[in-house]
Chain A
Amino acid sequence: MSMHPITLKVNGKPHTLLVKSNELLVNVLRDKLFLTGTKYGCGIAECGACTIMKDKRSIMSCLVPAVVADGWEITTSEGLSKGDKLSPVQEAFVDLAAIQCGFCTPGMVVTATALLHENPNPDEDFIRDYLRGNFCRCTGYVAMSKAVLAAAAKMKEEAQ
């Protein structure tokens, strides 16, 4: 199988990589860059465990061929916090116990971050609609929508 050089900027760091034509972005992130926060859950872009952010929008990396991502700037869950300092979304997920097994969490916090970029003043209906592509089998989603509301309030407070 032919190999292709690509450049990727991930969490602010540039990378030049050789990838196979059929290699998926999720696997490049996990296996070549060791960013294992991005998860495989279903392989068909249904569950959202592989969600990353490109241009402030959330996309599922399990159906993106790595060659298509050439030149992309992306953010993964690992890129949201600054050292030990959690992002407001991550902090709210911790404080409001929106995390149980934690497997959907990286994708969920990335989607929630994109949500707040798009709409800094979401109501609960907007949040629930936005999170519909991220499955969680543990929590029942209650704590998650509360956490996104709390993060929105916190970000507004910090902006002032």
Chain B
Amino acid sequence: MKKNLQLVGTAVPRHDAWAKAKGEQLYSDDFTMPQMLYGKVLRSKYPAAILRGIDISKAKALPGVRAVLTAADVPKNEDITKFGQMRDVGGGFEGLYKVLANGKVRSKSEAIALVAADTEELAEYACTLIEVDYEVTEGVFDPRESIKEGAYVVSSEDKDNIVMRTKVEDGDINAAWALCDVVVEGDYFTTPHEHAYIETEGGMAWIDENEVVTLRVGTQVLEHYRTMAKILGLPHTKVRNMSVPMGGGFGGKEDMTVEMYLALLTLATRRPVKMVWSREESMDTHAKRHPEYLHYKTGATKDGKIMAQEVSIVMDSGSYTYLTPWVQMYSTQAAAGPYQIPNVRVQSVSAFTNNTFSSANRGFGGTQVNFAYERQIEELAAKLNMSPLELRRRNIVHNGDPLPTGFIPQGHIALEELLAKVDKELNRTPKPERLPDGRKVGRAIAIGHMVYGRLTFLHDSSRVSLRVELDGSVTLRAGVPDLGGGQASVLCQIIAEELGLKITDVHPYIMDTHLTPLCGTTTATRQLYMSGNATYKCVSIMKERVLEKASSILGYPPDMLELANRKVYLINNPLVNIPFETVIGHISNDGGELELIAQFNAPFTEVPDLADIKSRLNPDLTYTCHGVEVAVDEETGQFEMLRLIAACDAGKMINKNSCEGQIEGGAVYDALWATHEDLQWRNGITKANNFSTYLIPTSVDVPDVETIILESGGGLGPYGAKGVGEPSDNSIAPALVNAIRDAIGTGLNLNKMPVTAEKILAAVKGIDIEK
């Protein structure tokens, strides 16, 4: 590994920053083509119904309407959910995927029919002419009800609503309670969470001159082209996504969005088709973070050693499986938190309901349990009459400690340091009891652990290629979907660092399934780890080639040479050097290869026994700590966040700006999840389906995030980096609610989201709202 890094770790602007600042970056909605049609989706009016018949004749007869399609028109309407994994897992892990509804409608806004027409208005009007004969059924909207025998069955394809059951167990939980002096127990509920990317889903599709169904759709998973090909009955080579950067993803663009609809409509009409969802359509239909009902029981000795924890989780999968089993494994594995607890039992079950389906959302099962275990720790500390900080210190995991699955993480665990730093910063001045305006002040800290990299039994891999041009500039080709985290730019930075170039010497060509090596998904906080390592491997081979050639020219051994400032030079005497492009010219003259591809594979494991998981599930984890100071108005229950400290061990920052941006943005992404971001689901209807009712943080709702970034070097990514994208949003929600608890002096009414002003006010008055 290179010492004296020049570029890695600096705050160099990303390649795309200038175009974005000028408004010139093109997104999925910014393309048009001659003869383009507009596509619309007819969606179910009801959350639960049986489709008895669909009459499309009136819509089809409307002049200007070019296609009306239903499930019967889809070559293979039913498939299994795939998310770019290279390995078939099978079993209950990959559930049913349906393009258009048939049989039972499973949720409101499920897609029933597709229309393509000359104008958007016409397509929309044609949808109103489609007559759907619904037999409205009762439905079920709470997974605690839907798992019961005799419950309404959500699907027409299954006998019951269970998606998956799984368990992690360590030690002897039944015997452990006798060792505990103090036990706390609580029920927690976490609400569905909306990604609320500012760009709604959209894109366009056409058929090219080689009969390739071609898309321009921003997605976190380029590899969906394979599922599309299967559904259309085409070879994989005949579907292509020339993808574009996303205006935010956060997991919400991990499932397929408009891709299948566009492909079907363009094939039916032989014309380009565009489709863009309205904000309401987006919020009604795309996946949400899984709502979870959690029960925690935790016991400790009187000196604060946690001896036992028992957890049960019921997850709402909503209408389809999608990523539910994956998210469930994350929740189940992470449920006991970053604590060394000798006796643990975590049981979880996920089930269908007639709610909007649940799938990936930043944090991926980690956020829900993080809220519950950190609320639990706070109540345990109160009962032990011990500071929550001290209780955490006595129980956190350290290097070498196993997770309850038995797996010992290989990366560094920096919790001790993170806790100390956040505590010092949060309490740099003594906490006042009240502000001058009378509001009560509260402070709290919460910690979290979150994996980066995919489930190891998926056998994850990434490939990138690079080509050195004869003028010494470099083209990076990588199928890396960029959703705004700087996923592509960071790879350029690694190449420029290793070849001694400027970042502007490296040009990224990204996200085209026909022209870029597949990097795998921009999910699971995996791109820097996976594609960063693939890039490092690729550029290292090129670097070796350059050094060898320079060595033969300069007459010094390769290990005495280094690359910097577009030169190869002698380490102890930089006056002895040769320009980079001259060396490249020699390699080219001699027939050397200047175009390379390299693949990085994550650790591989076997599919675990779901009934009792006792193996490694992920490559490694990232650790976080959030500190919050709030002021609570005891007369209204309103609170204001005064300070927000976000700390994380990033292993190594590759791009300082991007790393800080993730940690700041991640903290704010979930800052108001627990309190304000409420979709108001009522019997399968999303009542808050736009930005005037669903309240995401604005610039006045959150304070400046104070970031503390550690660089332990103990990650599995390039230069010892860890992933930070998802970990950065995990422990903020419990930190906020625990700070409110600290202010009002009671944990009453604070365990179930949304933690509204009404609930806080009732808590202040000592009223248990559930009694």
Seen from chain A, the residues whose Cβ lies within 8 Å of a Cβ on chain B are 30-31, 35-44, 46-47, 49, 76-78, 80-81, 86, 90-91, 93-95, 97, 99-106, 109, 124, 127-129, 131-145
Contact = CB atoms under 8 A, between A and B. Distances in A.
B25 interface: yes
Interface string B694-716: 00111110101100000000000
Contacts of A131: 698-699
B692 A141 contact: no
B485 interface: yes
B382 to A, nearest CB: 30
Report which residue of A38, A95, A97, A105 has the largest number of chain B beta carbons within 10 angstroms of its beta carbon. A97
Contacts of B63: none
| Main SS at interface, chain A | loop
Contact of B486 (A30, A35, A100, A133): A100
Contact of B22 (A31, A37, A137): A37
Interface in B657-710: 657-658, 660-661, 664-669, 690-692, 696-700, 702, 704-705
Contacts of B245: 101-102
A39 B483 CA distance: 17
B314 to A, nearest CB: 29
Nearest to A92: B21
Contacts of B20: 99, 102, 105
Given A103-B247, A105-B21, A44 B692 contact: yes
Nearest to A106: B23
B661 A47 contact: no
Interface stretch (B193-201, B234-242, B523-531): B193-201
8 contacts: A43-B278, A102-B17, A102-B484, A103-B198, A103-B484, A104-B247, A140-B705, A145-B699
Contacts of B93: none
B699 A138 contact: no
Interface in B1-25: 11, 13-14, 16-25
B197 A94 contact: no
B298 to A, nearest CB: 32
B27 interface: yes
Contacts of A30: 30
Contacts of B702: 140-141
A77 B22 CA distance: 6
Contacts of A81: 21-22
B276 A101 contact: no
B206 interface: no
A102 B197 CA distance: 11
B690 A138 contact: no
B29 interface: yes
B17 A104 contact: no
Contacts of A143: 657, 661, 664
Nearest to B701: A132
B279 interface: yes
A36 B29 CA distance: 9
Given A101-B197, A137-B197, A144 B699 contact: yes
Nearest to A125: B700
Nearest to B484: A101
B26 interface: yes
Given A101-B248, A137-B696, A36 B198 contact: no
A141 B641 CA distance: 15
B360 to A, nearest CB: 15
Contacts of B248: 101, 103, 137-138
A141 B21 CA distance: 15
A49 B699 contact: no
Contacts of B195: 137
Contacts of B11: 97
B691 A137 contact: no
Nearest to A48: B198
B246 interface: yes
B250 interface: yes
Contacts of B667: 140
Contact of B16 (A36, A102, A136, A144): A102
Those 7 A-B pairs whose CB atoms lie nearest each other, nearest first? A37-B23, A101-B484, A103-B247, A102-B20, A77-B23, A140-B668, A97-B657
A39 B704 contact: no
B661 A97 contact: yes
Contacts of B690: 42, 44, 46
Given A102-B17, A102-B21, A143-B664, 6 more contacts: A37-B24, A40-B29, A41-B691, A43-B278, A141-B697, A143-B661
Nearest to B22: A81
Contacts of B16: 102
Report which residue of A76, A78, A91, A101 has the largest number of chain B beta carbons within 10 angstroms of its beta carbon. A101
Given A39-B247, A140-B705, A132 B22 contact: no
Contacts of A128: 699-700
